[in-house]
Amino acid sequence: MSKLLLALDVGNTTILMGLFNHTRLLRDWRFFTRKEQTSDEIGWLVMSALQSIDVRPERIEGAIISCVVPSLTDRLMEMCTHYLGCAPLVIDPGREEYFPVDYPDPAQIGADRIVNAVAGTEKYGSPLIIIDFGTATTFCAISEEGAFIGGCIVPGIGISSDALFEHAERLTSVTWVRPQCIIAKNTEDAIRSGLLFGYASLVDGIVERMKKEMGVTPSVVATGGWASLIAEEAKCIDRIDPYLTLEGLRIIYEKRVGREKKHKRSQ
């Protein structure tokens, strides 16, 4: 029976977990991120997910973690060691072995952005712009030579809507239904219209400016929870890849294991 890889992409809002058999993604799950979670609570979620598809923890050969919530990193590592019996590989953006980086201080780059860059260039080549629609929306530029050269970060659409409802007393939260037109006839549709079409225009505007500054015509790939919704309206997005971050984790893990095996053979 083949061994499996567990990949964990830990964001500020959700934890995306994927189970790989070599290059094949067998299953994925999403959990809410809670900064006060203990290693046992995370372990319970992971074990319940594996049990739901009849996978015993002994089948997990390795684990890899991308985490942008520093307070959870040690607990995630402890969970992997205790419940899965393996020490996980944790993405450290300060280590340039993962990807060529043209950035003054690589340690400042979010782990998820490096992972996305690895997967994006592996799958789609360069130059490339990667947009990750999560708690924050990140725009990452990959040069024609295949190096991470920077990008920008804006509040995600979820944060933007929460801020609107919190600070505008007469506006209340709305359910997400796609608006039919930009000129709305009631307050709820006006909020939906402003958020969706306004955010799509923001995305198109930033990408246009990035392309001009890069001096090339890169492909534009979108990932993250809001990608499908925004891509319906944004004109700049060439393709959607919902599992880009998980794929990047798998690729990095396989490269690391391959290097270690090569090093052992040379000794």
Which residues belong to the active site? 112
User: Reduced to 3 states, what is the DSSP secondary structure of residue 244?
Assistant: helix
Please, what is the end-to-end C-alpha distance for the chain in angstroms? 30
Q: Are 69 and 13 in contact (CB under 8 A)?
A: no
Query: Residue 258 CA to chain centroid, in angstroms?
Result: 24
Q: Among 93, 135, 155, which Cα is nearest to 118's?
A: 93
Q: Among 32, 25, 36, which Cα is nearest to 11's?
A: 32
User: Reduced to 3 states, what is the DSSP secondary structure of residue 240?
Assistant: strand
> For the residues of 177-229, what is the DSSP string, one character each?
---S-SS-SSHHHHHHHHHHHHHHHHHHHHHHHHHHHHTS--EEEEEETTHHH
Compute, in degrees rounded to 10, the torsion defined by CA atoms 101, 103, 109, 111: 10
